[in-house]
Amino acid sequence: MFDFSIVSKWFHDLLTDFIPEWLVIGIECVIVLLFIIVLYAILAIALIYLERKICAFFQCRIGPNRVGKWGLLQVFADVFKMLSKEIIKMRQSDRMLHDMAPFFILTASFLTFSCIPWNKGLEILDFNVGIFFFIAVSGIGVIGILLAGWASHSKYPMIGAMRSGAQLISYELSIGMTMLTMLLLCGTMQLSEIVQQQADYGWNIVRGHVPAVLAFIIYLIAGNAECNRGPFDLPEAESELTAGYHTEYSGMGFGFFYLAEYLNLFICAAMAATIFLGGWAPLYFPGLDGFNTIMSYIPGFVWFFGKAFFVVFLLMWIRWTYPRLRIDQLLSLEWKYLMPISMFNIILMAIVVCFGLTL
């Protein structure tokens, strides 16, 4: 397995020969930041195109096919349209908070994005409480949505923001509980170590069998709700609230919400791939040595993106299959079904780990 930390260490040593270390760290921070932003933009474009094609596939349509070959340039055309739009100013709204709200959501999205381990030795934020930090910073997004709804000074965004706040706070519990369940199995919160364990001893979803599969299903449901995507997209239900909390935004203000929604989908999928499906760890079968050597020649980030996009496909499949829930159904699903099941699941996982029943 290729270890990327060799490359980054070589680069660091090369720079420290010429310039003082604090400046080297500054330069590396800028490079990493550029890497994050570029990857973010590329992934957003890829995901929007994928969503349109998969949505069309589920609705027996063709999807975008006019701009460029197979409609590949459609997303670029949309981005330029959005960039050239006027940003409207409303009377009686709190301009400062209104302009600031999308950046809260982007900040939360960027911070969670940089927790993801892409390859062996290729992590941006990797310290001893990785998963806890991930859950903590994902909470900043709620503030952005609430402020957007408040500062717009309009009924629909306000209702959308209230719904969204209730939904995000409730489903965060299930996400935390499923992650706790998997932490019991791993015994560490550092994301790179979790993936390394899975490369050595097998994927968590196999190792933890029944409770892990249960946790995976709950994570997918709660993750879909955390991303504000259908069947849980009532904060922006078009038929009732025009566009929910971002009704009063135009141009790139709206663009940022749109961007963050798709990237949150990817982050949710990437976390599922990291915690349950082994991250960059290749597929091994015990005993089949020839097969295992071939698999280990495939680089880690290919495995990672393969698994992440597989989960993205699962989430889109759910989105375009089920109808939207009502707000009381949504909350009772979380508090009366998912929460008790995940609490029971933690106990089950504790028993499994305690008696050494893991595979």
- Which residues sit at the interface with another protein, rule CB under 8 A? 20-22, 25-26, 92, 94, 96-97, 100, 127-129, 132-133, 135-137, 139-140, 142-143, 146-147, 149-151, 153, 158, 161-162, 165, 169, 189
Task: Report angle CA 176, 178, 179 to the nearest 5 degrees.
Answer: 65
> Which residue, 28 or 78, is less far from another protein as judged by CB?
28
> Which residue, 130 or 300, is less far from another protein as judged by CB?
130
> Which residue, 113 or 133, is less far from another protein as judged by CB?
133
Helix (H) or strand (E) holding 184: helix 155-186
CB of 193 to another protein, least distance (A): 12
CB of 99 to another protein, least distance (A): 12
Environment class of residue 359 by beta-carbon count within 10 Å: exposed (0-12), middle (13-18) or buried (19+)? exposed
How far is C-alpha 141 from the geometric centre of its chain's CA atoms? 12
CB of 169 to another protein, least distance (A): 7
70, HSE (Cβ side, Cα atoms, 13 Å): 6
> Which residue, 146 or 349, is less far from another protein as judged by CB?
146
Cis peptide before 211 (omega within 30 of 0): no
Environment class of residue 239 by beta-carbon count within 10 Å: exposed (0-12), middle (13-18) or buried (19+)? exposed
Please list the residues that pair with 119 across neighbouring strands. 122
> Which residue, 21 or 289, is less far from another protein as judged by CB?
21
Paired tokens of 218: 């709950």
> Which residue, 18 or 22, is less far from another protein as judged by CB?
22
How far is C-alpha 43 from the geometric centre of its chain's CA atoms? 11
Euclidean distance between CA atoms 215 and 182, whole angstroms: 8
CB of 141 to another protein, least distance (A): 9
CB of 125 to another protein, least distance (A): 10
> Which residue, 127 or 337, is less far from another protein as judged by CB?
127
CB of 90 to another protein, least distance (A): 12
- DSSP symbol at 119: B
CB of 162 to another protein, least distance (A): 7
3-state helix, strand, coil in the chain (%, to 5): 70, 0, 25
> Which residue, 97 or 341, is less far from another protein as judged by CB?
97
CB of 96 to another protein, least distance (A): 7
CB of 347 to another protein, least distance (A): 17
> Which residue, 165 or 251, is less far from another protein as judged by CB?
165
Cα dihedral 306, 311, 313, 316, rounded to 10, equals: -150
> Which residue, 227 or 312, is less far from another protein as judged by CB?
227
Q: Is 122 helix (H, G, I), strand (E, B) or coil?
A: strand
Paired tokens of 7: 């490359």
Q: Is 314 helix (H, G, I), strand (E, B) or coil?
A: helix
Please list the residues that pair with 122 across neighbouring strands. 119
As a residue count, the chain comes to 359
CB of 64 to another protein, least distance (A): 38
DSSP H helices, 208-338, are 209-226, 238-241, 251-275, 289-297, 300-319, 327-332
